[in-house]
Amino acid sequence: MDNFLKRELKFGLFLFFFTLLLFGVHWYVDFYFVEEISYIIPLYFIYIFNFITVLIVYTLINYKYEKDQSQVFVYFMAATLVKMILAIVFLLPVLLGETEHAKTEVLNFFIPYFIYLGYEVVSISGLLSKK
């Protein structure tokens, strides 16, 4: 269990600082290079959503890795599928709403989403390669 907590703390701290850095860069680009747009989903909600979902997926995989390593990949794929479904549900107000900046809002969500997904896959594949 000690290894579980070490991996979790290391991942959580790095994810937190990664989120702050990515949010800062995104906010800067949005503030200085995009015209004044009133978003349906605020920028910080996008980063909170991504932070929480990535942390939950990693915690689940880390826990399963500590208990039983045989089904970790299956849990990872299932958790990623659930995360993708949650992403679509999260974007429903934009997709169903009548807004003139729908493309900008979808890009505001999916660019960080895929960056977080890449980080999640690299982190979990590093965990699985220790098998």
pTM to 2 decimals?
Answer: 0.90
At 116 the pLDDT is 96
Q: How far apart are CA 72 and CA 1, in angstroms?
A: 17
How many domains are contained in the chain?
A: 1
Confidence of residue 131 (pLDDT cuts 50, 70, 90): low
Higher pLDDT, 128 or 8: 8
Q: How far apart are CA 106 and CA 88, in angstroms?
A: 10
Q: Which domain range does residue 22 map to? A: 2-129
Going by C-beta distance under 8 Å and a sequence separation of 6 or more, which residues neighbour residue 19? 47, 50, 51
DSSP structure class, residue 98: -
Question: What would the pLDDT profile of 16-47 be if each residue is shown by its tens digit?
Answer: 999 999 999 999 988 887 777 778 888 999 99
